[in-house]
Amino acid sequence: MNRFDNVIKGMLVLETEVIRGQVGVKDGKIACIADETAVLEAERVMDCGSSYVFPGMIDTHVHCFSNPDEGFEPTSRSAAVGGITTFLDMPYDLPKPITDVAVFEEKVVRLEQQSVVDIALWATISKYNGTGQIVPLAEAGAVAFKMSTFETDPYRFPRIPDQEIMQAMRLIEQTGLRAAFHSENNEMIVELIREYQESGKVYPRAHMETRPPVTETSEVLKLMEFAYWTGVKLHIVHVSHPETVELIKLFRQRGVQVTCETCYPYLLLDVNDLERMGPRAKMNPPLREPEDVAGLWRHVNEGQIDLICSDHAPWGIEKKEIGDDNIFLSASGLPGVEILVPLLFDRAVMQGGMSPVQFAKLMSQHPAEVFGIADKGRIAVGCDADLTVIDPQGATLVDETKLRSHSKLTPFHGKQLQGRIQYTVVRGTVVYDGEDITVEPGFGRFVPGMASKRRKVESR
Ligand SMILES: [Zn+2]
């Protein structure tokens, strides 16, 4: 009889159903899926009882190094505690954004020394004449390319001019990878912020008023038309408004390959929270009206939003509190990799009645499919044995002081949630046991993108 390294028993969340069953793991891969009556011999057996055994959850939108005080170790520990088995790290790093192969390779080395979960890496381009590195970065293993139509930072996170976007899209199309965009209208927002500041309108809600929905929808419309002419696979990050999804539906009907995500705050908070909490609830794009939140949920439930992620941005308190008297001065973004899954499991599955199968699609399967990470995202024979075990009877208290990230502030501080991350399993090994991280930094591996030369060599 086949002897497994590890057998994990529980309520398995498969692609179309939940079964009481067991997963046999061999060499870090799922080697067998059986019902509860089968006798599987193994070195170790983990009985998760009536807990859900989900495919490992994937956070596609994480910024480890926007703040150099953070880095892979705190973020990956945070991820493991939050039930995330793989994350995709954004390229807008300080001091060096990921715009060429040399910095990309350095980042791969650092990742494999410091992480406790698996990580894939985004790449980007510099503002002018940056497209020459696109094909080499794809071959080095970049998972996708991220660009912005809004100038967050002229060096680290620049606005890419239209002609440069077209050129980049043509090249990215050749690699088969996805081009993703932060889509906000730079001209309108800069002008609105100038007007507001001049007239002393610097209250928290002004952050939303200076970034009205049209600043998102107008840029998304442009990018989809660019994708129509270049044939590139497009991904719209952090959709904040339901009208954006309506436009995406139209362009899908026209044959444009466009996917989209929203982030947990847009589903769980609204502009009244920004008004109440100020900088702590400031992000780009901003929180919207309650009816817009309801609209986003409708699109999630109808399957028009492909995935939900965190947009983890690990700013310390000092970068936030400077905006207490003027919202425009504080950093934008929230930590999230540790609370994304607990918050959404509570709201969507426990309170909202979403099926565990649907939840797995949003948090595991679609993230892997959209970004071409074929070994992950499903409980299926041959896939990596990445699992997120959630006890629906357990409880989680969100305590910002205990977050593993450098960032120790969240609008969700003090929230009591139903459901608890019981185990996080990466390639068959428990990396978080419900209490502590159980592996050393360096356990985590680099996950190469689908145009990687590395991947082609390995699979030979
Ligand atoms: Zn982001």
Per-residue confidence of the chain (460 residues) as pLDDT tens digits? 579 999 999 999 999 999 999 999 999 999 999 999 999 999 999 999 999 999 999 999 999 988 888 889 999 999 999 999 999 999 999 889 999 999 999 999 999 999 999 999 999 999 877 899 999 999 999 999 999 999 988 888 999 999 999 999 999 999 999 999 999 999 999 999 999 999 999 999 999 999 999 999 999 999 999 999 999 999 999 999 999 999 999 999 999 999 999 999 999 999 999 999 999 999 999 999 999 999 999 999 999 999 999 999 989 888 999 899 999 999 999 999 999 999 999 999 999 999 999 999 999 999 999 999 999 999 999 999 999 999 999 999 999 999 999 899 999 999 999 999 999 999 999 999 999 999 999 999 999 999 998 765 554 4
Decide if 316 contacts 69 (C-beta within 8 A). yes
The two tokens of residue 245 are 């999804």
Instruction: Name 181's bridge partners.
Output: 147, 236
Name the packing angle between helices 72-81 and 101-114 (round to 10°): 50
pLDDT given for residue 458 in this prediction: 53
Whether 204 is in a domain gets the answer: yes
d(CA 114, CA 367): 23
Whether 391 is in a domain gets the answer: no
Cα 327 to averaged position of ligand 1 atoms, centre (Å) = 19
Cα 35 to averaged position of ligand 1 atoms, centre (Å) = 41
Q: How many CB atoms within 10 Å of residue 158?
A: 22
Cα 66 to averaged position of ligand 1 atoms, centre (Å) = 9
pLDDT given for residue 153 in this prediction: 87
Cα 258 to averaged position of ligand 1 atoms, centre (Å) = 18
**Considering its fold, how many domains does the chain have in total?**
1
Phi, psi of 10 (to 5 degrees): 165, -165
* Domain extent at residue 151: 56-370
Cα 311 to averaged position of ligand 1 atoms, centre (Å) = 5
Cα 334 to averaged position of ligand 1 atoms, centre (Å) = 10
pLDDT given for residue 69 in this prediction: 84
Decide if 13 contacts 48 (C-beta within 8 A). no
Neighbours of ion ligand 1 (CB under 5 A): 311
Sheet holding 57-62, edge to edge: 57-62, 84-89, 118-121
Whether 229 is in a domain gets the answer: yes
Whether 419 is in a domain gets the answer: no
Tokens 């509190």, residue located: 321
Instruction: Name 301's bridge partners.
Output: none
d(CA 347, CA 359): 11
pLDDT given for residue 460 in this prediction: 42
Cα 312 to averaged position of ligand 1 atoms, centre (Å) = 7
d(CA 111, CA 115): 6
d(CA 5, CA 45): 9
Tell me if the bond preceding 213 is cis, omega within 30° of 0.
Answer: no
Cα 92 to averaged position of ligand 1 atoms, centre (Å) = 9
Whether 205 is in a domain gets the answer: yes
Cα 17 to averaged position of ligand 1 atoms, centre (Å) = 33
Whether 16 is in a domain gets the answer: no
Decide if 128 contacts 167 (C-beta within 8 A). no
CA 350 to chain centre: 22
Q: How many CB atoms within 10 Å of residue 392?
A: 17
Cα 89 to averaged position of ligand 1 atoms, centre (Å) = 10
Instruction: Name 417's bridge partners.
Output: 396
pLDDT given for residue 131 in this prediction: 94
pLDDT given for residue 349 in this prediction: 98
Query: What's 162's domain CATH number?
Result: 3.20.20.140
Cα 158 to averaged position of ligand 1 atoms, centre (Å) = 13
Whether 255 is in a domain gets the answer: yes
Find all residues with CB under 8 Å of 379, minimum gap 6, and list them. Answer: 12, 13, 14, 15, 23, 30, 33, 53, 54, 55, 387
Whether 28 is in a domain gets the answer: no
